[in-house]
Amino acid sequence: MLSLVSARDSSDAMYALGSFTQFNGQPAAGIIRLNRDGSRDTNFQLAAMDQFPSAMAPILDGSGTVYIGGLFTHYGATAIRHLARPRANGSLDQSFSPGEGFIGISDGEGGVNNLLFIHQMAVEEIGSRRLYVQGLFGSYRGMSVPGFLRILLSGELDPTFLNGV
């Protein structure tokens, strides 16, 4: 799986997301940022993760900041559950805290968290830049939000968003 996500930052960067560990023979953690000429932007270095990200959403404000989501539980040495916000250089933005993160849904055989997948994410382009997440999950930060939610810039669940899914 390989996805390309356009990001309208000052350099018109493009992000490649997928199940890869190398790009042009160099280590890569499943996400790289490409320059306009297709070469890798070496200023963007993600920390190692225990699982590849499955979704990504750039913040379209020129900062180079992105959200990544997936089955990972660590970003480098930092324990983080399924959602992170790396800065333009790839370092983890500690001001965004998903807390306990996502919990999956039951597999019908008593196993919880067996079914969890983040399909899509999008950031509001106008206004507060809140993050929308859609996928296969049952709760976020201990709150029941099956499959669709909106998250504040802090990482907290947006209490004003009424999810009718």
pLDDT reported for residue 112: 58
Q: Are 45 and 89 in contact (CB under 8 A)?
A: yes
Phi then psi for 117, rounded to 5 degrees? -160, 135
pLDDT of the chain, 165 residues: tens digit per residue:
556 666 555 667 788 888 888 888 988 878 888 888 888 988 888 888 888 888 888 776 667 778 888 888 888 889 988 999 988 888 999 999 999 888 888 666 665 555 788 888 888 876 677 899 999 898 899 888 888 999 998 999 998 887 755
pLDDT reported for residue 6: 60
> Which residue is it, tokens 């023979």?
25
Among 59, 80, 58, 60, CA closest to 70: 80
> Could you give the angle at the alpha carbon of 27 between the alpha carbons of 23 and 29, nearest 5°?
90
Q: Are 52 and 59 in contact (CB under 8 A)?
A: no
Q: How far apart are CA 11 and CA 62, in angstroms?
A: 8
